[in-house]
């Protein structure tokens, strides 16, 4: 029946469907493909020689039209495009991809189209060059070995400062060694060694020198640490302890009572109550391998229960050595740590200064969560390095912070707006926009921002020994400029998820790329390669919505909203009530008289009608998770 009705007049279809009309585009469709495979009748007139004359059309009828005409046994392609939507080089590249796909079909006609490649020869060479990140780092060394090497080089440098307490590199190493020897000496009630093999040890402490000592001691004792934020909900802490089967829990006396009420089976020891003064100060002679676990970080899971990501020593060593070289941190620098230990990016704040001879400033909770306290700390202690999420940097911006010191800033964890990037650039010596999921060890790409921006900054290029591929749904490599899922391979890939083999097999897969079998992590992020070899982040695959038949990326709406002069931060969500779906925008602004109508008019000039939010909600601040990211679930109903 469908075949019988396949030919329908276009005007009738428009009349029946009644699509939303817009002067900006044709109704129903914007892309047309024409196959002209009928012989063209020749016009014959007496005493005249007639030939076809190709004419140019000054206005494109549709966004994109591809006409394929069969002439003299050959196919001739003609591309017509709207010049205000496409650059000429984009169409040339698209034509090359189409030709490559046709060649692939001819060469392998039995293959599913989704398994065929559009890559041209120049595409392949370009992508391989952008992923040529091989660097000879001593990744066979553990993070502990890198720290101990620094202790030998700068034993009397101050390593850690917290409020009025400080420890030199020698003192920090001595205390960590003494605690490590103590942990190794622990016995069970039956007289057997408590820590056998390479144990996982939970640590739930507030930011302090004890936290640094505890982390290093766990690693020196041959274990891996599991950071837990004492402020997390009781149910989450209980789940993490039960799921991880941690051998031991290191905590502090003022938090132990709270943790004891969790009814977990993990033995708890208080760092501030242990008598380790008589323990040996020498580095424990514990053999460590590059593929030993360094830490396990629990992140949110789509099923509702968090999942533990297992990071090995070589993962962390490769990342830290790249960051050390990339940022140029030295023994003269001071890094301010503001991130909770249970957020994976805290590992950069802790270990990067400690393997570089730098001074690690630990901000207390009151400083880390208050913009005025934070800016005073930055100025008073002449901090030269700081890492934070855009939400934290936005708080500093709102407090009218201006630096007086040469600062290197790292910003990651969420998309960085052009407005915030320009502000940070004016208040920094070096500004890095960094990107990476927990599963690939903190940051996997980095971009140095050197000039003011008008668009969202890219997330940069792969770091050392890291390869990034943009793949389609069939795990085929996308050409430069074509969006797809961002997938990561290389030294940063985690071992997998703790006690979750099925999820590990789903997210960490092996695929053939450029003739080589690669183990990759599927991030679920959308991205594309830019012409200069940087990556553009386009949002989450799972934040794609469909409204009135249109597929929409909410991240795109947010990026445009943040370009409006009076908007500081923006989040777009799909809200549904009484079967009525609409896009709602949540905003923060310094302009109390922000006009929704003016903003809507401004957006309509930059977005299609179906992408313009129907409702705007102005908030004093966007709700944040404990890790400093925007908590979308806590946004109020409009």
Q: pLDDT tens digit string along 443-501?
A: 999 999 999 998 899 999 999 999 999 999 889 999 999 999 999 999 999 999 999 99
| Nearest-10 Cα torsion for 547, 567, 86, 612 | 20
Beta strand 165-168 with 158-162 is: antiparallel
CB 22, CB 52: distance < 8 Å: no
CA–chain centroid gap for 303, Å, is 20
pLDDT exceeds cutoff 90 at 627: no
For the chain, the domains span: 8-130, 548-638
The reported pLDDT for the residue numbered 550 is: 61
Give the lowest-confidence range in 146-160, 265-279, 310-324, 427-441.
265-279
Q: pLDDT tens digit string along 546-568?
A: 676 465 778 879 988 988 988 98
Alpha helix (H) residue ranges in 108-204:
121-130, 143-153, 169-185
The reported pLDDT for the residue numbered 263 is: 62
Mean pLDDT of the chain: 90
User: What 3-state DSSP class applies to 611?
Assistant: helix
Higher pLDDT, 235 or 632: 632
The reported pLDDT for the residue numbered 551 is: 58
The reported pLDDT for the residue numbered 13 is: 80
pLDDT exceeds cutoff 90 at 254: no
The reported pLDDT for the residue numbered 319 is: 98
The reported pLDDT for the residue numbered 85 is: 84
Q: pLDDT tens digit string along 425-446?
A: 999 999 999 999 999 999 999 9
Give the lowest-confidence range in 72-86, 148-162, 427-441.
72-86
pLDDT exceeds cutoff 90 at 125: yes
Looking at residues 239-251, what average pLDDT do you find?
91
Domain 8-130, CATH among 3.20.20.80, 3.40.50.12780, 3.40.630.30, 3.30.559.30: 3.30.559.30
The reported pLDDT for the residue numbered 579 is: 60
Q: How many helices (H) and strands (E) does the chain have?
A: 17, 29
Give the lowest-confidence range in 26-35, 208-217, 331-340, 358-367.
26-35
Q: pLDDT tens digit string along 495-528?
A: 999 999 999 999 999 999 999 999 999 999 999 9
The reported pLDDT for the residue numbered 301 is: 61
The reported pLDDT for the residue numbered 548 is: 62
Over pLDDT 90: what percentage of the chain?
61
Cβ neighbourhood burial of 419 (10 Å; 0-12, 13-18, 19+) = buried
Looking at residues 301-321, what average pLDDT do you find?
87
548-638 has CATH 3.40.50.720 classification: no
Confidence of residue 414 (pLDDT cuts 50, 70, 90): confident
């Amino acid at each position: 029946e469908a075949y019988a009705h396949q030919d329908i007049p276009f005007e009738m279809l428009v009349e029946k469907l009644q699509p939303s009309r817009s002067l900006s585009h044709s109704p129903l469709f914007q892309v047309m493909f024409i196959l002209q495979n009928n012989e063209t009748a020749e016009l014959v007139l007496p005493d005249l020689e007639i030939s076809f004359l190709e004419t140019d059309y000054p206005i494109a009828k549709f966004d994109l039209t591809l006409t394929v005409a069969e002439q003299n046994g050959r196919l001739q392609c003609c591309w017509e495009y709207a010049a205000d939507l496409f650059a000429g080089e984009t169409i040339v590249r698209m034509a090359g991809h189409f030709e490559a796909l046709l060649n692939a079909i001819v060469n392998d006609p039995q293959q599913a189209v989704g398994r065929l490649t559009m890559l041209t020869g120049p595409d392949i060479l370009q992508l391989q060059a952008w992923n040529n990140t091989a660097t000879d780092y001593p990744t066979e060394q553990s993070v502990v070995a890198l720290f101990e090497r620094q202790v030998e080089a700068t034993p009397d440098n101050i390593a850690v400062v917290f409020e009025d307490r400080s420890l030199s590199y020698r003192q920090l190493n001595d205390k960590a060694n003494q605690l490590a020897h103590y942990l190794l000496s622990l016995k069970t009630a039956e007289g057997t060694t408590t820590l056998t093999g390479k144990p996982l040890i939970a640590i739930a402490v507030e930011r302090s020198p004890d936290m640094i000592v505890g982390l290093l001691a766990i690693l020196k004792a041959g274990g891996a640490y599991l950071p837990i934020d004492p402020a997390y909900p009781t149910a989450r802490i209980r789940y993490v302890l039960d799921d991880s089967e941690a051998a031991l829990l290191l905590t502090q006396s003022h938090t132990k009572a709270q943790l004891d009420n969790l009814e977990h089976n993990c033995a708890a020891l208080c760092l501030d109550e242990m008598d380790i003064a008589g323990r040996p100060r020498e580095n424990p002679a514990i053999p460590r391998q590059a593929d030993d676990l360094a830490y396990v970080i629990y992140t949110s899971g789509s099923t509702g229960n968090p999942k533990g990501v297992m990071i090995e020593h070589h993962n962390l060593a490769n990342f830290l050595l790249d960051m050390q070289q990339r940022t140029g941190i030295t023994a003269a620098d001071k890094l301010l740590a503001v991130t909770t230990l249970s957020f994976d990016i805290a590992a950069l704040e802790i270990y990067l200064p400690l393997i570089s001879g730098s001074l690690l400033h630990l901000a207390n909770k009151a400083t880390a969560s208050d913009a005025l306290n934070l800016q005073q700390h930055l100025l008073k202690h002449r901090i030269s390095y700081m890492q934070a999420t855009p939400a934290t940097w936005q708080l500093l911006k709102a407090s009218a912070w201006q630096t007086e010191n040469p600062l290197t800033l790292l910003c990651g964890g969420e998309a960085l707006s052009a407005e915030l990037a320009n502000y940070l650039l004016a208040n920094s010596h070096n500004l890095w926009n960094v990107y990476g999921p927990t599963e690939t060890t903190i940051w996997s790409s980095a971009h140095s921002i050197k000039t003011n921006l008008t668009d969202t900054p890219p997330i940069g290029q792969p770091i050392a020994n890291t390869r990034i591929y943009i793949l389609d749904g069939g795990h085929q490599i996308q050409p430069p400029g074509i969006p797809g899922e961002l997938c990561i391979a290389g030294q940063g890939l985690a071992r997998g998820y703790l006690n979750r083999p099925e999820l590990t097999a789903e997210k960490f897969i092996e695929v053939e790329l450029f003739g080589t079998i690669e183990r990759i992590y599927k991030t679920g992020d959308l991205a594309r390669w830019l012409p200069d070899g940087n990556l553009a982040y386009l949002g989450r695959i799972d934040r794609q919505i469909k409204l009135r038949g249109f597929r929409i990326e909410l991240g795109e709406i947010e990026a445009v909203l943040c370009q409006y002069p009076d908007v500081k931060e923006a989040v777009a969500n799909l809200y549904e009530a009484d079967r009525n779906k609409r896009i709602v925008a949540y905003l923060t602004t310094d302009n109390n008289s922000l006009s929704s109508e003016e903003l809507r008019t401004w957006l309509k000039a930059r977005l299609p009608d179906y992408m313009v939010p129907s409702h705007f909600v102005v908030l004093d601040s966007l709700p944040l998770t404990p890790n400093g990211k925007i908590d979308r679930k806590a946004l109020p109903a409009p």
